[in-house]
Amino acid sequence: MPANNNQRITGETPFKPEYDEFIREYRGRGSLKVQTSVAQDAFPIEDVFVDVALIYKGNRYSIYHDVTDSSGIVNEIVLPSRLTEETQTPESAEKGEPVYLVSAFHPGFEEIIDCPVTIHDRIETILPISLNPTNGNTEDAV
C-alpha cells in the first residue's frame, strides 16, 4: 500500500461544526458495507484503502476511512441518513438522502474515485467494488 493514502484523498477534515449540524439535520442511521474483489468478483482483495466522503454545503469532507480485511470487506460503517418517518410525505421527500462518495486504493489496481452511494435509515447498503489490475493480469494481482 502507498505510504500515505491520505494524500490521495481531497477534502477538508475534520469539520466538527459542520458535522454537528449535518447529524442534527440527518438524524437517522444506516450502514455501509464495502466489498472489494477482482476477476469478476471471484477473489476478495485485502488491504484496500477505503475512504468515505460527503459533499455538504458545497464542501467535500472525508469522514471515514479503513482498510479491507482478508475477505475484502470493510463492514458496519454507520452513516447519518434521514429518519424513515421523514421520507413518508411528498413535502419531506423533496429533501432527499445524503449521498456519500466512496473511493478505493490499492497498489497494483486502478483507483476507484468517488463512487456515489445513498444510505437509508435502518438499512445496510452493500457496495461491491470490482478492481482492475493495472498490469491487466488478474492472477498476479491476488
pTM, to two decimals: 0.81
3-class DSSP state of 78: strand
What would you measure as the largest C-alpha separation in the chain, in angstroms? Answer: 53
In a domain, 142, yes or no: no
- In this predicted structure, what is the pLDDT of residue 14? 54
Number of domains observed in the structure of the chain? 1
CATH of the domain at 79: 2.60.40.1120
d(Cα 98, Cα 27) in Å, to the nearest integer? 11
CA distance 100 to 115: 8
Q: Is 124 part of a structural domain of the chain?
A: yes
Domain-located, residue 31: yes
The DSSP bridge partners found for residue 127 are 34
In a domain? residue 94? yes
Average of per-residue pLDDT across 27-42: 91
* Residue-wise pLDDT tens digits, 71-128: 999 999 999 999 988 777 777 667 778 889 999 999 999 999 999 999 999 999 999 9
Structural domain including 117 reads 5-133
